[in-house]
Amino acid sequence: MNNMNMNFKLPFAFALVLFLAQLGECQPGVFDVTKYGAKPNEDISKALLSAFKEACNSKTPSKVVIPKGNFLMNQVRLEWNCKAPLELQIHATLKAPPNPNQLKHDMEWLTVNHIDHFTLSGGGILDGQGEQGWAQNDCKNSESCSKLPNNLSFNFLTNSLISDITSLDSKLFHINVLGCKNLTFHGINIKAPAESLNTDGIHVARSRGVNITNSQIGTGDDCISIGDGVQEMHITNVTCGPGHGISVGSLGKSPGELPVVGVFVQNCTFIDTDNGVRVKTWPASHDGVVRDLHFEDIIVQNVSNPVVIDQGYCPYNQCKKELPSQVKISKVSFKNIKGTSRTQEAIQLMCSKGVPCEGVEVGDIDIKYSGNEGPAKSTCENVDPSLVGKQHPPVCSTTPAQSS
C-alpha cells in the first residue's frame, strides 16, 4: 500500500469510528440487559432471557452484559440455537430468591445448555442465598434429598470458558457440569460455610476435556467431585478448603456408569479439609472402571485424610458392606504430596477384595501427623503399590492384609 492511499484512507477510517461511536450505547454485538428492562434490585430474569435470545440470533460474536450493581434473579435457563460465539459478562452481584419454596424443583438457578463457544466472565458474584435451604436439607436422614436447586449448571457446552466468577452459598452443588466437551474453568471463587450440606464446589460428569485452573473453592462438601464418564480432566493450581477435598466418585451405585479415564490433579493445595485427594466407590456395587488418575505436587495443611482410596464408601450406613465393590481401579499415581494431617491416617489405600487395585504408584510423600498419638501411618488393603522415591510415613510396608 503506498502513502497516498494511506493518507486517503486514514481520515475516512477515523470518520467511520466517530460515526460508530455516535451510535452510542448500541455497540454492535453488545446486548446490555438494562436495555431490556433490567433494573437494580429487581428480578432481571425476563430481561436476561430477552437479551440472550437476541444475542443468540446474531450471526457475529456477541456479548450479553449484566453491568455492575445488585440485581435479583429467579431461575433462568439459557438455551437456544446460537449462531455465533456468545459471551455472558456478569459484572453484577446476582441474588437468588432466599426461600427455596419459591423455586421450581426441576430447574437450577442459572442453567446454560447446548452452546458452542460460550464464555462466562465479568468478575461478578452469584449469590445462591442458600442459608434457608440448608436448614431444610435432610440428606443425613434420607437418600432422596436432592430437591434443592444447584447454583450454576452447564450442560452440553463445547469449547467454552467460565472465568473470573464468584459463587456464594449455593443451596446445593455450586456448579454442575454435564455432557460438556472442552470446557475450562479459570479463576473461579466458590464460598460456602463448612457446615452447609451437599454444597459441592464443582461437580463434573459425562464430560471430556474439562479443565479447572487457578481457582479457590471452600464449601461444606467436595471441592471438586468427578462423576462417571469423565475423561481427560486437568485440575491445576486449585486451593480447596474448607470442605471434603477433590474426589473421584462416589462410583458404582447405579448400573451403566461410564468409565472415568484420565484425571490429572497438579499443583493443588488443601487447607483444613476432611480429605485431600480421594477415590470412593460403593460396596456391593455395579461394575465400573476408573483408570489413569494422577495426583502430583499436592500440599496438604491440617487435612484429616490426605490420600484416600475407599472402595467401601457408605456414608449413611445403608449398604451391604460385606459385598465388595466391583469398580476396577487401575493406573493411579500419587507423587510429591507434602504437609500435615489432622489424623494419623495419612494414607489409606483400601481397595476392593473383589477387584483389587492395579498399577498404583506412590512417589515422594512427606506427611506429618500434627497430633501427639504417634506417627502418621498408612493403611492398605488389596493393593500392592510400586514405590518410587521416599515415603514418610512408609506406605503399605507393614500391612498384613495385602491381596493375594
Q: Which residues bind ligand NAG (CB under 6 A)?
A: 96, 108-109, 128, 149-153, 158-159, 170-176, 181-182, 184, 209, 211, 214-216, 234, 236-237, 242, 266-267, 272, 297, 302, 342
CB-nearer residue toward ligand NAG: 204 or 307: 204
Task: Give the active site residue among 169, 174, 228, 244.
Answer: 244
Q: Is 59 left (phi over 0), alpha (psi -120 to 50) or beta?
A: alpha
Please confirm, yes or no, whether 244 is among the known catalytic residues: yes
Work out how close the CB of 208 gets to ligand NAG at its nearest, in angstroms, rounded to a whole number.
8
C-alpha cell at 115: 452452546
User: Which of 286-310 are b and which e, b meaning 16 or more Cβ less than 10 Å from the residue's Cβ?
Assistant: bebbbbbbbbbbbbbbebbbbbbbb
- Residue 186's φ and ψ, nearest 5 degrees, are -135, 130
Q: How far is the CB of 90 from ligand NAG (least distance, A)?
A: 13
Catalytic residue among 32, 169, 200, 221: 221
Q: What is the DSSP letter of 101?
A: G
Nearest approach, Cβ of residue 335 and ligand NAG (Å): 12
E strand or H helix that includes residue 118: strand 118-121
Q: Which is nearer to ligand NAG, 149 or 288 (CB)?
A: 149
Closest approach of ligand NAG to the CB of residue 342, in Å: 6
Q: Is 287 a catalytic residue?
A: no
Nearer to ligand NAG, 113 or 399 (CB): 113
Of the two residues 31 and 295, which places its CB atom closer to ligand NAG in the complex? 295
Beta strands in 304-399 (DSSP E): 305-310, 326-341, 345-350, 358-362, 365-369, 377-381, 386-387, 391-392
Please state, in angstroms and rounded to a whole number, the distance separating the CA atoms of residues 293 and 74: 39
Residues with a known catalytic role: 221, 244
